[in-house]
Structure 1
């Protein structure tokens, strides 16, 4: 297999390439420094800035609208399923109350059994209402702009 010799370097420089680099810049411009682009007019810069700001605002508004629609959808279904759960709980409480009356009736009589169950349910409702009021107070405190405990903003 014969060994090929590398091509010889160019010996003469052409008129358009006085350094003999064959038009390759090797990191610099062979024909002198590059020309600077003309300056962009200030009104074009401001117009582009205003257009970009307008597009950004439109995108943010579209995002807020999409997030609102998603939240609305979530609230709608959460409230629907919450309503179903509350109805099921009400029916279960009625069954427990009726069962408690039936269990107590042979021992204390039907009227006193009913009064005992009603008193127990009123006590449970009072406790639940007290806890709900306390939790609502925590929410109210969290939503206040001034978190200092002085005064009430009712």
Structure 2
């Protein structure tokens, strides 16, 4: 996949264009479609530009600014992902606390209703007992 001959500046320009395509989510290499930018590397940019994996090298001074941009893009993506995760965790903690409050309120309400039902049941039992005693008194009085 290596381009024959070629001027270093043309190769570097091709790599810069490849990086921009990757950042704009419009790669030409099928394997780079839906690429997670947190995994962006110099070799991926080299392949996207049409070169072999080792085209971009730290030993070539002209490549250093582009290599730094690639590293910065990856670091920014990781930072954004980490920040996004932290926000998600905070939001979930808030929702959990809210749910725990609602659960405590529901339990308290359930306990109140249960207490009222027990009191009502006891009152019904007392009335039934009083009613049956009253009937037995009425039957005894008639005979």
Decide which structure has the larger Cα Rg and report it. Answer: 1
Higher relative contact order (CA 8 A, sep 6+): 2
TM-score (norm. length: structure 2): 0.47
